[in-house]
Amino acid sequence: MAVHTEALEYAHHGPMTDEEYVEQRDLRFLGFLMFLFTDSIFFTAYIFAYLYLRSAAPVWPPVGIERPDVNLGAANAIALFGSGITAHYAMTRLKENRLSGYIWFTIATIILGILFLLGQVYEYHAFYHEGVTWAGSTFGASFFTLTGLHGFHVFVGVWFLIATFAQTLAGKYSPSRHFGLTAATLYWHFVDVIWVVLFFLFYIY
């Protein structure tokens, strides 16, 4: 099933040539990498704040608070890491002009992302049931802030994937012109990497 190509246009002079597209793509790619870099600094600041609070506490987690369920965290990790694999193959299939493969891998990525979010909601509910809240302790504040911030990024990523999926089906992207899909895939891999760090800090370390 072939991908229909719709040429991107400048408002002032018609269809964009291949040379113009490459130039715009490279500039947008650089801008997107700068966005991811600044976002990683944002996470890094919170992570170091968490490590400081943890090192200053005599006992961690505080007395009366159990460590997050590693089995649930691992299940969420499997869903998210699996979605990173399917996102990679979706991008590969589009580059190979195999739209049907792209469709199925993208749907799988979106479903796995939603499953991760549902697992996080379940975990939050369990913590609140046990009396662990954002305002109740430094552990609760750290856990809900960092995992909640990451969960928000996953939520945005799911909608990013849905939007680019709809654009692809509408013929906005082709095997040679697909910057939006590249950005969505990079963003998804970014939230995967952040979860590796958070999973280690909260569930293992």
pLDDT means per 10 residues in the chain (205 residues)? 40 50 73 94 95 90 86 95 97 94 97 97 90 83 95 97 95 85 95 96 92
CA distance 102 to 86: 9
What pLDDT was estimated at residue 178? 83
Domain ranges for the chain, please list them: 10-204
**Which CATH superfamily hosts domain 10-204?**
Cytochrome c oxidase, subunit III, four-helix bundle (1.20.120.80)
Which long-range contacts (C-beta less than 8 Å, at least 24 apart) are formed by 90-95?
A: 90/185, 91/178, 91/181, 91/182, 91/185, 94/3, 94/168, 94/173, 94/175, 94/178, 94/181, 95/175, 95/178
* Residue 10, helix vs strand vs coil: strand
Quick one: pLDDT at residue 1? 44
Quote the pLDDT of residue 135.
Answer: 81
CA angle 42, 45, 49 (to 5 degrees): 145
Query: Would you state the pLDDT for residue 131?
Result: 80
Whether the pTM exceeds 0.75: the reply is yes
What local confidence, expressed as pLDDT, does residue 6 receive?
A: 41
Check residue 22 and give its pLDDT.
56
- pLDDT the model gives residue 26: 77
